[in-house]
């Protein structure tokens, strides 16, 4: 037994000695040295490298087509901009997206899909940073403190991992001027204090502009045109102006907008009854259940819709579908 154990250790040492370490940049890997061989090995701890961060275009494309409903404008914009950014290793500026629409139209959901297509751990990745205005920046009196903290947080995390993602939810509730504190990181400066932000992604989520988007969709419905005929040009100018001129929005008169640092303002259309049904069927399939049209139809009818007379668009979008569905099963 002793001879067999000694032989096993000897052969194992030879095999380890022949293994060549992966040539990742040192600052982006989590390496420990073996006390036996002195060679590095890689821990299961999440690191800023290809093992944990690798963009999957096919995954994002399939998720957008099969899980996001009623958003013929948002889906292609998201896919094209994320793909172009992720496939450009020499990007000099970060990707900056501003997602706008009413509650439940899919803004947060799309952010999650993007994260899942890039990071092995999706939204749980330590390189994905979610800021919720009412939770992280609740006190108006602390604005200057929040500015300093936000700048340091972004700089520190991009220093650790250039491919970091920052999601700012409830931009319509954020204090004005706060987001401008990170404006230098969104602009082209090559590097700032030795840190490059070109591989980072910034996503702003806001309900602002949602009513303008809904009004345009209603105008199309009233004139007998399909919502799929709405194009980005129909919405982009009005959406940008409504966000920039809305005093209750975190981007009000922001230099981030005036200096054109947002790559795309992505409109999310209000959802109709048929989209709630699609959401419900997708939820049943995700649970491993056989989709039941009748069950989902009953659930969708219980949602409230606007305008009061026409009852075209859901007030809550697909929000709460998962919880509401339980009552009809």
207 phi/psi in degrees, rounded to 5: -85, -15
Is 294 annotated in a binding site? The answer is no
CA 67 to CA 286: how far, in whole Å?
Answer: 10
Residues paired with residue 195 on neighbouring β-strands, in sequence order: 192
Is 107 annotated in a binding site? The answer is yes
**Is residue 227 within 8 Å of residue 221, measured between CB atoms?**
yes
Is 104 annotated in a binding site? The answer is yes
Can you say whether the dihedral through the CA atoms of 130, 55, 113, 250 is positive or negative? positive
**Is residue 185 within 8 Å of residue 197, measured between CB atoms?**
yes
Report the 3 state secondary structure along 135-191. Answer: HHCCCHHHHHHHHHHHHHHHHHHHHHCCCCEEEEECHHHCCCCCHHHHHHHHCCCCC
Neighbours of 31 (CB within 10 A): 14
Please list, in sequence order, all residues whose beta carbon lies within 8 angstroms of the beta carbon of residue 86, skipping any fewer than 6 positions away: 55, 57, 118
CA 88 to CA 84: how far, in whole Å?
Answer: 6
**Is residue 94 within 8 Å of residue 201, measured between CB atoms?**
yes
Is 145 annotated in a binding site? The answer is no
CA 87 to CA 77: how far, in whole Å?
Answer: 15
Q: What residues form the annotated binding site for ATP?
A: 101-108
Q: What residues form the annotated binding site?
A: 101-108
């Amino acid at each position: 037994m002793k001879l067999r154990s000694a032989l096993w250790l000897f052969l194992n040492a030879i095999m380890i000695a022949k293994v060549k370490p992966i040539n990742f940049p040192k600052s982006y890997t989590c390496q420990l040295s073996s006390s036996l061989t002195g060679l590095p090995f890689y821990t299961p701890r999440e690191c800023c490298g290809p093992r944990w961060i690798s963009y999957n275009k096919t995954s994002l494309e399939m998720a957008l087509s099969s899980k996001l409903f009623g958003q013929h404008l948002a889906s292609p914009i998201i896919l094209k901009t994320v793909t172009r950014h992720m496939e450009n290793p020499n990007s000099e500026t970060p990707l900056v997206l501003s997602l706008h629409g009413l509650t439940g139209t899919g803004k947060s959901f799309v952010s999650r899909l993007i994260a899942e297509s890039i990071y092995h751990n999706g939204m749980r990745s330590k390189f994905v940073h979610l800021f919720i205005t009412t939770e992280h920046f609740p006190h108006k009196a602390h604005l200057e403190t929040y500015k300093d903290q936000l700048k340091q947080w972004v700089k520190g995390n991009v220093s650790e991992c250039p491919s970091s993602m920052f999601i700012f939810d409830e931009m319509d509730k954020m204090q004005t001027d706060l987001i401008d504190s990170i404006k230098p990181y969104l602009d082209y400066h090559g590097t700032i204090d030795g840190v490059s932000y070109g591989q980072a992604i910034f996503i702003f989520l806001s309900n602002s502009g949602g009513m303008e988007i809904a009004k345009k969709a209603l105008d199309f419905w009233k004139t007998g045109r399909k919502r799929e005929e709405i194009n980005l040009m129909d919405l982009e100018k009005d959406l940008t102006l409504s966000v920039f001129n809305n005093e209750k929005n975190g981007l009000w008169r922001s230099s981030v907008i005036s200096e054109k640092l947002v790559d795309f303002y992505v409109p999310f259309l209000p959802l109709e009854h048929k989209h709630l049904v699609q959401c419900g069927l997708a939820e049943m399939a995700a649970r491993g259940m056989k989709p039941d049209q009748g069950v989902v139809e009953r659930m969708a009818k219980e949602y409230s819709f606007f305008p009061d007379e026409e009852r075209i668009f859901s007030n809550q979008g697909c929000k709460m579908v998962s919880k509401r569905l339980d009552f009809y099963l």
